[in-house]
Chain A
Amino acid sequence: MRVLGIETTCDETAAAVVASGDDGRGVILSNEVFSQIAEHAGYGGVVPEIAARAHVEAIDRLIARALRAADVTLDQVDGIAAAAGPGLIGGLLVGLTTAKTLALVARKPLIAVNHLEAHALTPRLTDEVAFPYLLLLASGGHTQLVAVRGVGDHIRLGTTIDDALGEAFDKVAKLLGLAYPGGPEVEREARRGDPERFALPRPMMGRPKPDFSLSGLKTALRIEAEKVAPLTGTDIADLCAGFQAAVVDVIEDRTRVALRDFRERVGRPTALVAAGGVAANGAIRDALARLAGEAGLRLVAPPLPLCGDNGAIIAWAGLERLRLGLTDDMTAAARPRWPLAELEAAPPAS
């Protein structure tokens, strides 16, 4: 079975082809990503209209490239999947309209994929992880701890009540005059900084529900930075180190609480999974590895190219849904907000 996947939720335009064999294992045949980072860099964040404009210019070429690289024609794919949300509406409409049209012309099933579920199912593509597992999804747009029980069957254990983790990294980078996207920049600065110099809070630590809050930490960092401004290179490194250390502590604590919650509500997880762009941060990965070891679990972190936005994870989620008969029709709507809890689940196994 082969599925074409289309991703246009934010600032990457992407298309990929993923296949599964008789044993159900997934293989990425192609994964083409065009990042719009350069077009948004001057704005310190993603500008929705600029993103939408870039998607419509690029998506058909990327699809053609993905099909060519996979050495398949449109007729040879079994389904066409597009991320239908959550995300920026302008881009979603471009990707979903393109997917619907391809599905209509080539007479293939359409699968409107939830972008969060695509991240949630990725460890099954990369590491064949069995349900159920605990997922920490942390990116520029999302921060969630999710019990993944099956396709379309997820319990959100915790989420952020304000900024997403990746967004907090971006805002700190912007404040300190570092480049966008901020995650890698802050991590690089943090490596040579002193995490103890600035006393920063650990918001939500110790709370019984595994939610996150980043705005207080961000404000505290701003106040500390303003006290010492104008900033030297050392100041910037120390601020980044302090910020990252606080984030690591919070993630470790929140994930530990989520694990406890998981055991009570779902049972024993097969793995702890870290997905999304923030999982690319080495310090955060180390902390999660520590935590997984402590809990006797395997830590699964999909390879970096699959942690960011890409078409392969959309294609894989589409494939998982398609083989359960979960498809969509031509009236499928783009959904800027689309919580995992509102997903259609697979019919119960008979």
Chain B
Amino acid sequence: MRILAIDTALGQCAAAILDVASETTIAAEAIAMERGHAEALLPLLDRVMARVDGGFHSLDRVAVTIGPGSFTGLRIGISAARAVALAIGIPAVGVTTLSALMAPLMEDGPKRLTVAAIDARGGRVFVQAIGPSGRLIIQPCVMTIRDVVRNLGSGSVALVGPGATMIAAEARAVGIDAVLHDDLVLPDLAWVARIGAAAEPDEALAKPYYLAAPDARPQDGARLARL
């Protein structure tokens, strides 16, 4: 299966084309950025696809990170992924950023409690934690850093994701052995492709996984009393 993987949900604008069966990356490019994904993605996609024999029409599937992450960022990647899928009639599947971040440590079974964390601002993180047995310890949610650490127990913890350093500091302060994986700060596109290739298109929809409601409240204050 030849798959196009896209990630614009966090601090990079990245695309890669992989042949999943042979585990080879055909072409890939990633640019580190906190903003500007919208302007960068399509020129990047154009450059990457130019290096692929057969171009877009040789693809079997598109996989995209769906969040949690920057609301705007993830919508850009999803819009592009769904448009590719529409244009050439292939499935687009969604991969959560949290599962993509953790995947490299899950390959041979997790050796210790593994936590993926993404800054959600205001002392909170988008977080997911999986125990050594593969059991879900914290299901994906938004949590304060303090609450995350309270849920970790006392054993050794592996930390991944752009929010990992925030958790590490707090965990170490209470005596937890926190192992920071500096190389797993952003989703690895090869893993996005692998997870995406294994997913069921009907279940792993390429739709945003925000984990947070829009910041808006119904307004009634302006209305005058009525008889």
Map CB proximity to B onto A91-108 as digits: 1 under 8 Å, 0 otherwise.
Answer: 001101111111011100
CA distance A155 to B73 in the complex (A): 36
Instruction: Let me know if B173 is at the binding interface, CB within 8 A.
Output: no
How many residues belonging to A are interface residues under a CB distance threshold of 8 Å? 47
Determine if A350 is an interface residue (Cβ-Cβ < 8 Å).
no
In the complex, the chain A residue whose C-beta lies closest to that of B38 is: A93
Whether, in the assembled complex, A341 has its beta carbon less than 8 Å from a beta carbon of chain B, the answer is no
Give A262 to B39 CA distance when docked, in angstroms: 38
- B154 part of interface (Cβ distance < 8 Å): no
The 8 A CB mask of A105-118 against B (1 = contact, 0 = none) is: 11000000000000
Report A-chain residues with C-beta under 8 Å of the C-beta of B71.
49, 52, 90
Q: Does B194 contact A (CB under 8 A)?
A: no
Q: A53-B210, A98-B82 are in contact. Are A104 and B45 (CB under 8 A)?
A: yes
C-alpha spacing A44/B221, complex, angstroms: 10
Residue from the set B84, B85, B88, B216 with the largest chain A CB neighbour count within 10 Å: B216
Determine whether the beta carbon of B226 is less than 8 Å from that of A177. Answer: yes
**B residues less than 8 Å from A74 (CB atoms):** 86-87
Report the bound CA distance from A102 to B38 in whole Å.
15
Q: Which residue of A lies closest to B77 (CB)?
A: A97
B residues less than 8 Å from A99 (CB atoms): 83
Residue of A nearest to B74 (CB): A56
Partner of B83, one of A45, A52, A101, A333: A101
Identify the stretch in A188-196, A226-234, A263-271 within 8 Å (CB) of chain B at 4 or more residues.
Answer: A226-234
Measured between beta carbons, the chain B residues less than 8 angstroms from A236 are 226
Q: Is the CB of A101 within 8 A of B45?
A: yes
Residues of B within 8 A of A90 (CB): 71-72, 75
Asked if A295 is an interface residue, CB under 8 A from chain B, the answer is no
Interchain CA distance A41-B46 in the complex, whole Å: 40
- By the criterion CB–CB under 8 Å, are B39 and A331 in contact? yes
- Nearest Cβ on chain A to B94's Cβ, whole angstroms: 12
Q: Is B54 in the interface zone, CB < 8 Å from A?
A: no
For B224, list chain A residues within 8 Å (CB).
Answer: 175-177, 225-226, 229-231
In angstroms, how far is the closest chain A Cβ from the Cβ of B219? 5
Kindly provide the distance from the CB of B91 to the nearest chain A CB, expressed in whole angstroms.
12
Size category, B interface: 35 or more
Closest B residue to A110 by beta carbon equals B42
- Which chain A positions have C-beta within 8 A of B175? none
Chain B neighbourhood of A331, CB < 8 A: 39, 42-43
Instruction: Tell whether, in the assembled complex, residue A334 and residue B219 are in contact, meaning their CB atoms are under 8 Å apart.
Output: no
Known: A50-B214, A94-B75, A97-B38. A177 touches B223 (CB 8 A): yes
B120-158 residues at the A interface, CB under 8 angstroms:
none
In the complex, how many angstroms separate the beta carbon of B96 from the nearest chain A beta carbon?
16
Q: Is B42 in contact with A97, judged by CB distance below 8 angstroms?
A: yes
Which residues of A have CB within 8 Å of B214?
Answer: 47, 49-50, 53
Interface string of A173-214 (1 = CB under 8 A from B): 011110000000000000000000000000000000000000
- Chain A positions within 8 Å of B75 at CB level: 52, 56, 90, 93-94, 97
Q: Among the listed B41, B86, B215, B223, which residue makes an inter-chain contact with A63, where contact means beta carbons less than 8 Å apart? A: B86
Asked if B191 lies at the interface with its beta carbon under 8 angstroms from chain A, I say no
Q: Which of B63-107 contact A (CB under 8 A)?
A: 71-72, 75-76, 78-80, 82-88
Q: Are B215 and A49 in touch, CB under 8 angstroms?
A: yes
Contacts of B222 in A (CB 8 A): 44, 171, 174-175
Q: Does B112 contact A (CB under 8 A)?
A: no
Which residues in chain A, 47-66, are within 8 Å of chain B measured between CB atoms? 47, 49-50, 52-53, 56-57, 59-60, 63-64
At the interface, yes or no: A21 with Cβ under 8 Å from chain B?
no
Q: Which residues of the partner chain A approach B45 to less than 8 Å between Cβ atoms?
A: 101, 104
| Residues of chain B from 202 to 220 with CB closer than 8 A to chain A in the complex | 207-208, 210, 214-219
A348 within 8 A of B: no
Given A97-B79, A105-B56, 5 more A-B residue pairs with CB atoms under 8 Å apart are A49-B71, A53-B214, A60-B82, A104-B45, A175-B223
8 tightest Cβ-Cβ pairs between the two chains A and B:
A101-B83, A49-B214, A105-B87, A330-B42, A97-B79, A230-B225, A47-B216, A42-B218
Complex A-B: 21 CB contacts under 8 Å: A44-B222, A53-B210, A60-B83, A89-B72, A94-B76, A96-B38, A97-B42, A100-B42, A101-B45, A101-B80, A102-B86, A102-B87, A104-B46, A104-B56, A174-B222, A174-B223, A176-B226, A177-B224, A177-B226, A230-B227, A330-B42
